[in-house]
A = this chain, B = another copy of it.
Amino acid sequence: MFIAMNRFRVAPGAEADFEHMWLTRDVYLRTVPGFESFQLLRGPAGEDHVLYASHTVWATKAAFEDWTRSQSFRDAHRNAGQATTRSLYNGPPQFEGFEVLQTVDRE
Protein backbone atom coordinates (compact mmCIF):
# COMPACT_ATOMS: atom_id res chain seq x y z
CA MET A 1 0.00 0.00 0.00
CA PHE A 2 1.20 3.53 -0.81
CA ILE A 3 0.07 6.94 0.48
CA ALA A 4 0.60 9.99 -1.74
CA MET A 5 0.39 13.30 0.13
CA ASN A 6 0.65 16.81 -1.23
CA ARG A 7 1.21 19.47 1.44
CA PHE A 8 -0.23 22.93 0.75
CA ARG A 9 0.76 26.04 2.70
CA VAL A 10 -2.37 28.14 2.39
CA ALA A 11 -2.07 31.89 2.96
CA PRO A 12 -3.93 33.24 6.03
CA GLY A 13 -7.37 34.42 4.92
CA ALA A 14 -7.43 32.11 1.87
CA GLU A 15 -8.62 29.03 3.76
CA ALA A 16 -12.27 29.32 2.68
CA ASP A 17 -11.34 29.79 -1.01
CA PHE A 18 -8.93 26.85 -0.87
CA GLU A 19 -11.51 24.56 0.74
CA HIS A 20 -14.23 25.68 -1.69
CA MET A 21 -11.96 24.94 -4.68
CA TRP A 22 -11.27 21.42 -3.43
CA LEU A 23 -14.76 20.58 -2.23
CA THR A 24 -16.43 21.65 -5.49
CA ARG A 25 -13.92 20.15 -7.93
CA ASP A 26 -14.67 17.30 -10.32
CA VAL A 27 -13.23 14.06 -8.96
CA TYR A 28 -11.63 11.80 -11.56
CA LEU A 29 -10.16 9.22 -9.21
CA ARG A 30 -12.99 6.86 -8.33
CA THR A 31 -12.45 4.37 -11.14
CA VAL A 32 -8.67 4.70 -11.59
CA PRO A 33 -6.96 1.26 -11.27
CA GLY A 34 -5.32 0.89 -7.86
CA PHE A 35 -7.07 3.90 -6.30
CA GLU A 36 -8.41 3.12 -2.82
CA SER A 37 -9.41 6.37 -1.12
CA PHE A 38 -8.82 10.11 -1.03
CA GLN A 39 -9.07 12.54 1.85
CA LEU A 40 -8.65 16.29 2.06
CA LEU A 41 -7.00 17.19 5.37
CA ARG A 42 -6.68 20.41 7.34
CA GLY A 43 -3.59 20.46 9.54
CA PRO A 44 -2.00 22.88 11.97
CA ALA A 45 -1.67 26.64 11.45
CA GLY A 46 1.86 28.07 11.23
CA GLU A 47 2.92 31.70 11.49
CA ASP A 48 2.39 32.49 7.81
CA HIS A 49 0.14 29.66 6.60
CA VAL A 50 -2.33 26.93 7.40
CA LEU A 51 -1.17 23.47 6.42
CA TYR A 52 -3.55 21.41 4.30
CA ALA A 53 -2.83 18.06 2.67
CA SER A 54 -4.34 15.89 -0.01
CA HIS A 55 -4.02 12.26 1.12
CA THR A 56 -4.54 9.49 -1.40
CA VAL A 57 -4.25 5.78 -0.66
CA TRP A 58 -3.16 3.52 -3.52
CA ALA A 59 -2.87 -0.27 -3.72
CA THR A 60 0.77 0.11 -4.84
CA LYS A 61 3.30 2.82 -5.66
CA ALA A 62 3.20 1.58 -9.28
CA ALA A 63 -0.55 2.26 -9.48
CA PHE A 64 0.07 5.84 -8.29
CA GLU A 65 2.86 6.33 -10.83
CA ASP A 66 0.70 4.94 -13.65
CA TRP A 67 -1.99 7.47 -12.73
CA THR A 68 0.49 10.39 -12.88
CA ARG A 69 1.13 9.48 -16.52
CA SER A 70 -2.56 9.21 -17.46
CA GLN A 71 -5.06 11.52 -19.13
CA SER A 72 -7.11 11.36 -15.92
CA PHE A 73 -4.19 12.99 -14.05
CA ARG A 74 -3.84 15.74 -16.68
CA ASP A 75 -7.59 16.45 -16.44
CA ALA A 76 -7.42 16.67 -12.66
CA HIS A 77 -4.48 19.11 -12.67
CA ARG A 78 -5.53 21.26 -15.63
CA ASN A 79 -6.05 24.36 -13.45
CA ALA A 80 -3.39 23.78 -10.83
CA GLY A 81 -0.91 26.33 -12.19
CA GLN A 82 -3.29 29.23 -12.81
CA ALA A 83 -2.49 32.59 -11.23
CA THR A 84 -5.83 32.67 -9.40
CA THR A 85 -4.98 29.33 -7.83
CA ARG A 86 -1.34 30.16 -7.05
CA SER A 87 -2.37 33.25 -5.07
CA LEU A 88 -3.94 31.00 -2.42
CA TYR A 89 -0.54 29.62 -1.41
CA ASN A 90 2.64 30.60 0.37
CA GLY A 91 4.99 28.59 -1.83
CA PRO A 92 4.58 25.55 -4.06
CA PRO A 93 2.97 22.32 -2.85
CA GLN A 94 5.32 19.73 -1.41
CA PHE A 95 4.83 16.13 -2.49
CA GLU A 96 5.65 13.24 -0.17
CA GLY A 97 5.08 9.57 -1.02
CA PHE A 98 4.95 6.98 1.76
CA GLU A 99 5.30 3.20 1.66
CA VAL A 100 3.18 1.46 4.30
CA LEU A 101 5.46 -0.78 6.40
CA GLN A 102 2.91 -1.95 8.99
CA THR A 103 -0.84 -1.74 9.52
CA VAL A 104 -2.60 -2.25 12.87
CA ASP A 105 -6.40 -2.43 12.79
CA ARG A 106 -8.95 -2.13 15.55
CA GLU A 107 -9.63 -5.37 17.43
- Interface residue count for A (Cβ, 8 Å)? 34
Partner of A27 from the list B22, B37, B53, B104 (CB cut-off 8 Å) is B104
A3 to chain B, nearest CB (A): 6
The verdict on A17 contacting chain B, using a C-beta distance below 8 Å, is: no
Number of copies: 2
Interface pair B35/A106, CB less than 8 Å apart:
yes
Within 8 A of B (CB), among A8-47: 19, 22-23, 27, 29-31, 35-44
Partner of A98 from the list B19, B23, B53, B98 (CB cut-off 8 Å) is B53
Partner of A104 from the list B19, B30, B99, B106 (CB cut-off 8 Å) is B30
Interface pair A3/B55, CB less than 8 Å apart:
yes
